Structure formats: C-alpha cells, structure tokens
A and B are shown apart, each in its own frame.
Chain A
C-alpha cells in the first residue's frame, strides 16, 4: 500500500513548494498562480453561495416548522403543511437499492475486464459501458416506463410468492414504485462503478501480481490478495461518486417511482424522492410557503450529499492509513 500513497505525496510536496514563492518568481508565473488560485476559490465560493441561497430562500419553512420539517410526514401544499421525511426515505432507499445491485455487478465486471478478459473484449465492453454512461436520463426513464415497469409488474407476484414472508415483497403489483426506481438507478450508476473500478484495477503494478503468481497463487487469490486491496480506495471512490449521482438523479426516477409521498415497508409501493418533488412542483408552486418548502427540500438534499461525501472522505482516508 505504500506505493499507492506515493503518487499522492509527490504533488503535495510540489504544492508546498509553490506556496512559498521564491524570490525570483516572474510576473507571468505570478499571474498564472493567482489566476488558477482564483478559479479554485471560485468553485468554493459557488458552493458556499449555493448553500446560502438555499438557506435564505427556505427560511420561511424553517421558521414555521423548525427541524420537525425533517421528520414530519405530511405534504399538503394547499393546507400549507410540509414535511420532508417521505422524500428523504424515498431518496435513501432507492439509492441504497441501486448500490446493492450495481456494486457487485460493477465491481465484478471491472475485475473481469481488468484481470481476466482478453484485451480486445475488454476494450469493446469498456466502450459500451462508457456509452451507457452517456445515455440521457430521460431516455432511461422512458425505457423504464415501457420496458422495465411491465417486467417488474410481471415479476412482483413471483417475488411475493417466494419472499412474501418479508414485508419488503408484499403489496399490490403496480410495477412502478421503489423497486423499479432502484433498478433504473442501478442501471444509471453501473457504468460509473464499472468504468472507474476497471481503470483503478489496471493501475495495479504487474510485479506485485507476478510475485504472488510465482508463489503459486490462483487467479482468485491474486485478485483477492493484491488487486482488490491495492485498488480498494479507488473503487470506494467510484462507489461514492455513483451514490452521489443516485441521490440527485431526478428525471428517470420520477418517471417510474409513482410520486406518492409515503413511507411503506414494501419495495412494491410507490414513493417519492427529494429531487423528483422539486422538479414536479417547482414550476407551478405559486404560494410563498410552497416555494419555500421546496427550497428547504433542496437544502436538505444538499446537506445529505455533503454528509455522504464527508463520510466517503473519512472512509477512504482511514483505508489509506491502514494500508
């Protein structure tokens, strides 16, 4: 693992040197340094401005509901009662479901492409994966409505028959709902996980693997003993990038999730996500309370992604420290 950290260390040393400008820094260098620093700070400023804007625009909601907005389950734009919990639930469960499906598939296919497949097959499949990542989400949503949802509807009675002892798999088989949303999301994030994991696995130094082969290890032992541990933090990064996409995905999800703000134990039941309710109701929200509540949902989503990214950083740092 020491080798893995090394490339990271080199730029940090270089950065340290640049921060203390030598006496002979030329005007052009200085201009360049200040220019790129301004670009970097601009990103920071934009993020901060976004958070401030969301907070200011949603202050009406926080004033009337306080933090109970986060765990209240009612959403009645006419009655003026707003709670974010059903949307939080829908966002988290559909994203978790997507990860549950896409991580084994994505990492598995990445291992195949990087370690086992012949070069030509690997390149062709990787190209297809990158194409999949470029499909606009509204197209995936349409595919969801016309292909996926009827399949899910056909499959749901079977799931109930075999797994009906779990409350997760009970309920009326509409086809649309959390399960369909999770499936379409997994399809959307799969290319991210697969493509990045493959790239990371390809950076595993050959000598390390050859050393283990020389000791008589099997392919599986090499993958488990060298490649995966070496690429661990990179793969984790890919998964969190994918999670970020899943949390914020709007169009494809809203087309198949059923758009009903409720919390139900069943994966078959319709639900709602935070980004979907904003997209659906913002254009027609004419009362200030309704608008403010929608922006408050946006702030909650923003907070959620900050928390998820923070956790990801922590986890990756800990893994690197251990290696």
Chain B
C-alpha cells in the first residue's frame, strides 16, 4: 500500500510540469466550419505539439452564447454578432473571417436539367407567390427549358442553421417584401413549405417530391453530386455556384469591407461573383487572459499562411488576397 502511494506521488510530481506545459484552447460554434476547423486544429497540433485546441460544433447560436459567457476562448459563427450581442459580450469582439461558403438551390423537375433563377423569382417562390413551375416569371428566365404545369413544393431547413441565414440574407437583399414580412435569422417563420432536418433532410425531400425546390450548402451539393440551379448575380450574369465564384463574391465586397469584417457578401458586385455566398467567422476577444492571446494570435497567423491552402480540398472557398491582408493586420492586434 505504502509503495503504491509513493509511486502515485512520484507520478504526480513527474506529470505536474508536463501538464503545466501542455496548453489548451477551447472553442465552440459553427457546424458549417467544423470540418475545416477540426482539420486545422489537428494539423496545427503537429506543428505545435504543446498546444491542444478543442472545438465543439454546437451551432453558431450556441457558439455566440458560450463566447459571451466566456466559457470558451473563442467562438465561431456563420452570421455576425449584432450590436446588442456585442454589447452583451463586453463591447469588444473581433470577427475573423476564416473561409467562405455558398448556398445553392437544388430542384427536382421532370425533364429539366438546367435551371436559371434570379433573386425576385427565388423570393417569390419562398414567399408562396410563385406556385407553379410554368409561372411566367420562371418561363422568362428559362426560355429553352420545358417547365411543366406542376405545383412547386417548397423545401427549407427546419433546424436553425447558417445555411438558412445566408439564404434568407440574400432574399432580404433582393426582395423588400421578404425583408418586411419574414426577415433575417437562422430560424425564420417560413410563409410556405416543408421543413427538412439538416442538409440530408432537405435533399431527401427534394429528391422524393416531384416539383420540389430546396437549398443546401455548395459543399454538400458538390460532395453528393447534386445538380443545382444557376442564379443571376448583381451584374446580371447567371452564375452556377463554384468555389471560385464564392471567392469572387468576397473579392467584390473587399473594397467596401468594414473594419470589423461584419459584412454580408450576398448579392456582391462583380461579373463572376456568386450571389448567395457568405463568410464564416471566428470570434475572438481583442484582450485575452495571460498566455492565451499569444496562442490564438500564433494560430491565426499559421491559419492565414498555411491553413488557407487546405480550404479548397475540403470544399471551402479560401479568402481572396485582399481580404487576407486586411485580416492579417487585425490578427496582429490580438493581445
């Protein structure tokens, strides 16, 4: 017994300095960014074995909440915090854009492979005003497609999500009626339609219901080889969602980018810009507890330099150069 106690004591003595050296950071939030974040944290752990970064993908809302309550060192969100939320979190929050994503409309119309949509048409469908596939507004956009006289079955996400946020952010910009009647958020009061749980739920419903239309993340559509519609951008060009198109939207918005990066890049200018695009952000405090700020800053430096190259492989659009330079300057101010 005595010997065992001595051994335990010795082990504790040996372990103590090691435990003090192995630092850890905890983050929580966006599920959209989870695949790339977990990749980054794993790769960064190889570069810097002394630091362990734990990330819980609990959703953007939960991320903002935990970040505000300071139960985590950093948060992650797909929609920027509003002024009231920042006030609650102590008034000073840095939004660090990490990667970009797009949202694409998927559809299931017999005999139609290519579909063209624009903002007013999408808003009309989701407001319940355009109810038939052969509606004049849709026929005008698709003169060559044979649109059937079938009712449109509208599908949306039932669970609160950044995908919904990006999609309704776009609808709010292109349709004053949407902005007034429905508004902007991760869960909204949908005027029409059926709710599917998660991207797989939406996809399942669209595939099974003839005449259905829904929306999913670009990554999800690419990974699952789903066909999707092209959307007319602000320059009047029909663009099919691609990673390059999403990055172009960010570049288009870079010139008018506010200093705090809280910017929506839906309906961005530029001929190649894909209009339903969004940043996803890490939330960081400008002043951090001793020792932690340095670690966060070092990680973000590495992420901008090496991490960005991993984005495309996982289906995310990397930051455009102009934005990257601006972000790098802000990262240096973290204490």
Contact = CB atoms under 8 A, between A and B. Distances in A.
B60 interface: yes
Most buried by B among A78, A254, A286: A286
A95 B98 CA distance: 45
Contacts of B201: 145, 255
Given A174-B209, A175-B209, A281 B195 contact: no
B194 interface: yes
B24 interface: no
A255 B159 contact: no
Contact of A280 (B60, B65, B158, B182): B158
Contacts of B184: 78
B224 to A, nearest CB: 15
Contacts of B65: 286
Using C-beta atoms within 8 Å of the partner chain, give the interface range for chain B: 35 or more
Contacts of A254: 158, 197
A77 interface: yes
B194 A79 contact: no
Nearest to B151: A172
Given A254-B197, A255-B197, A286-B85, A79 B183 contact: yes
Interface in A246-261: 254-255, 258-260
Q: Is the interface of B mostly helix, strand, loop or mixed?
A: loop
A296 B102 CA distance: 34
Interface string B150-166: 01010000111110000
Contacts of A290: 187
Given A145-B201, A149-B208, A174-B153, A284 B189 contact: no
Interface in A74-131: 74-79
A283 interface: yes
B160 A284 contact: yes
B305 to A, nearest CB: 32
Interface residues of A, number: 32
Given A285-B61, A286-B60, A286-B64, A78 B194 contact: no
Interface string B57-69: 0111110110000
B204 A146 contact: yes
Contacts of A75: 189
A285 B66 CA distance: 12
B148 interface: no
Nearest to B65: A286
Nearest to A145: B204
A77 B188 contact: yes
Given A175-B209, A283-B61, A286-B85, A77 B197 contact: no
A153 interface: yes
A176 interface: yes
B125 to A, nearest CB: 16
B148 to A, nearest CB: 16
Interface string B61-80: 11011000000000000000
B174 interface: no
Contact of A260 (B60, B185, B193, B204): B193
Interface string A282-301: 11111000100000000000
A270 interface: yes
Contacts of A283: 31, 58-59, 61-62, 159-160
Contacts of A146: 204
Given A172-B151, A259-B196, A270-B194, A284 B186 contact: yes
Nearest to A283: B59
B216 interface: no
Given A284-B159, A286-B60, A79 B189 contact: yes
Contacts of B186: 284-286
B60 A76 contact: no
B205 interface: yes
B197 A259 contact: yes
Interface string B170-195: 00000000000011111111100111
Most buried by A among B58, B151, B158, B159: B158
A295 B235 CA distance: 45
Contacts of A76: 188-189
Nearest to A149: B208
A276 B198 CA distance: 13
A157 interface: no
A280 B208 contact: no
B187 A285 contact: yes
Nearest to A286: B61
Most buried by B among A74, A150, A259, A290: A259
A284 B188 contact: no
Interface of B: 31, 58-62, 64-65, 85, 151, 153, 158-162, 182-190, 193-197, 201, 204-205, 208-209
17 contacts: A75-B189, A76-B189, A77-B188, A78-B189, A145-B204, A150-B208, A172-B151, A172-B153, A255-B197, A279-B159, A280-B158, A282-B160, A283-B160, A284-B159, A285-B61, A286-B65, A290-B187
